[in-house]
Structures are given as C-alpha cells and as structure tokens.
Amino acid sequence: MKAVICTRYGGPEVLKIADVRKPIPKDGELLVRVMASAVNTADTRTRGLDVAGPMKLAMRLVLGWKSPRQPILGTVFAGTVEEANTDKFRKGDRVYGCTSGVSYGCHGEFVAVKADGVVAPMPENASFEEAASLLFGGTTALSFLDKVNPEAGQKLLVYGASGAVGTAAVQIGSALGLKVTGAASGANEELVRGLGVCDFIDYRNDDYTKKGISYDIIFDAVGKTSKSKAKLALKPGGSFITVGGASVAKESKSQLDQIRAWFEQGKLKSVIDRVYSLESTAEAHAYVDQGHKKGNVVLKIQS
C-alpha cells in the first residue's frame, strides 16, 4: 500500500511517499481502507520533535531516537471496513476513529485498529473528509470540557476559536447550552461568529481580561494564554483549561457517538480549511506549521 513515512525528525521535507506492507488485522481488529485523514498539531509536533528542552529526550525515548518507530503518522481516519475479525462491524461499514498513544498509522491507504477501541460508525450524512475533520478537534474539546463539568447557562471563553480544537469547542459549548465567546484574530471573525458565538474578541487588538466580563470557564484551545492571566477574567471558582499544559486529551468511543449525534442534528459542523492529496502531505504539514489554519487540514487518501 501507499503511505507517507517520516524518515527522520525535521521539517516537512522528511516526509516521503513509500510502498509499505499492508497491515494484517489480528483477532478483534478491523482493517480499514482509509479514505480521509487529517494533519493536526500532534503530527507536526511529532515530525519536528517540537517540544521544549528536556521533553525532547523524553519524546525520543517514547517515540524513537532518530525517527519515529512508527514512521506512518496520522491519528485520525475515516473510511470503510475492508476486513472485520469481530462481530461488531461488517465489511463495507463506513467508520471513523482515532489511533491512540504512539500508534499513529493513519496516513496510509489502510490501518488496522481494535474493534473495541476508538472507532464508531460515521455520521450518516457526512463525507469522508467531513468525518475525518471532526475527530481531532472534537475529541480534544470534549475531553477537556468534560474535566470541568460545564453546566448550561455558564459563560465560556474559547481562546483560539478558529483552529481545529477551537472551532469544535465553540460548537460543543453551544450544544451544551453554554454562552460562548470566541477569541481569535479579527481576520477569522466571520468564521467564528458563524459557529454560533454570543460574542467575539479580536485577541490581537483587544485584551479579554480588560473587557469587564467574567467567565465560568476559559478554554485555551491553542496553548497561548496563561492561567495567571486567565484568573483576571474568571469568576470565583471558575475553571481554566488549556491544551498547552501537561494534561492530555483522552479519546473514547462515547465521544465519537456524541460527535456523530451532534453532526446529524446540525449542532456540529465540519470546518475544513484545505484538502490535500496523500502525495501532498508534506505541503499540508508546511501549511499547518504556519500556525494560521482555520479549522482542519484534511488529507484525501483515496477516491
């Protein structure tokens, strides 16, 4: 099968197209024909070994010293079941899901995943590209919001509301009945307002801590604001959550089921900035590296 492999740590140029052996599913696993995936920050940080100081050593020990032990990156997939060594799915089922930990493996034509893992039927009315774009941001936003047990009517500020996690957090917050304010670059105001926010802050020209508004929850969806600063705009007992700390998102099948339900109900929509072919994966990485994508960058693996 064709796949994109990471030959060593470095810039997008280290990514190469290669013919590799197709995975063989074990008992209890599915072989999924991957139709679409996405390039997200988990992929670009792994490729570039993009972590601070001593964390680079830890990352090498976990992922591989000179290059990733799993050279095929990609943590999300949408496609069809090619083989099912389980009674939970059948050949031809349209599924979407995530590979956890250091498994990766989604930037190729096939991936083997556990049937009882983070995989579920796709939303019925979604394209493969739309389904793939829902996963990284949607599961991350849900995972972090679940940590603070939000209640309907509370005020939520999403800092970095135009990225993959931010666009999902804005919509999920609204679906949960929260009063959502989105903070992003003014160039993305139309996009963020279109996702259903109650208010918008251009964080390049306006300081959210000086608006005279207090929030129940501040969600830093890009890792670019601090807890000490957020406290200035939090209500007493309010919660600050960030993708930039030590806490990590934990994906689950129940999250996929909830995302599917919201998409089918029209409460959550796919936000896709650009679509690239598998052969153009290095270009997709270069674009994500710029840090200005709106929503998701999707890979169309097969037609």
Which domains, and CATH codes, for the chain?
Answer: 2-135+269-300 (3.90.180.10), 148-242 (3.40.50.720)
- Tell me the pLDDT of the chain (303 aa) as tens digits: 999 999 999 999 999 999 999 999 999 999 999 999 999 999 999 999 988 778 888 889 989 999 999 999 999 999 999 999 999 999 999 999 999 767 999 999 999 999 999 999 999 999 999 999 999 999 999 999 999 999 999 999 999 999 999 999 999 999 999 999 999 999 999 999 999 999 999 999 999 999 999 999 999 999 999 999 999 999 999 999 999 887 888 999 999 999 999 999 999 999 999 999 999 999 999 999 999 999 999 999 998
Q: Quick check: 138 and 296 in contact, CB under 8 A?
A: no
What span, in angstroms and rounded, lies between the C-alpha atoms of 238 and 67?
41
Residues in Cβ contact with 132 at an 8 Å cutoff, skipping those fewer than 6 apart: 36, 37, 38, 76, 77, 78, 96, 296, 298, 299
Q: What does the block give as tokens for 9?
A: 């740590």
What span, in angstroms and rounded, lies between the C-alpha atoms of 271 and 241?
22
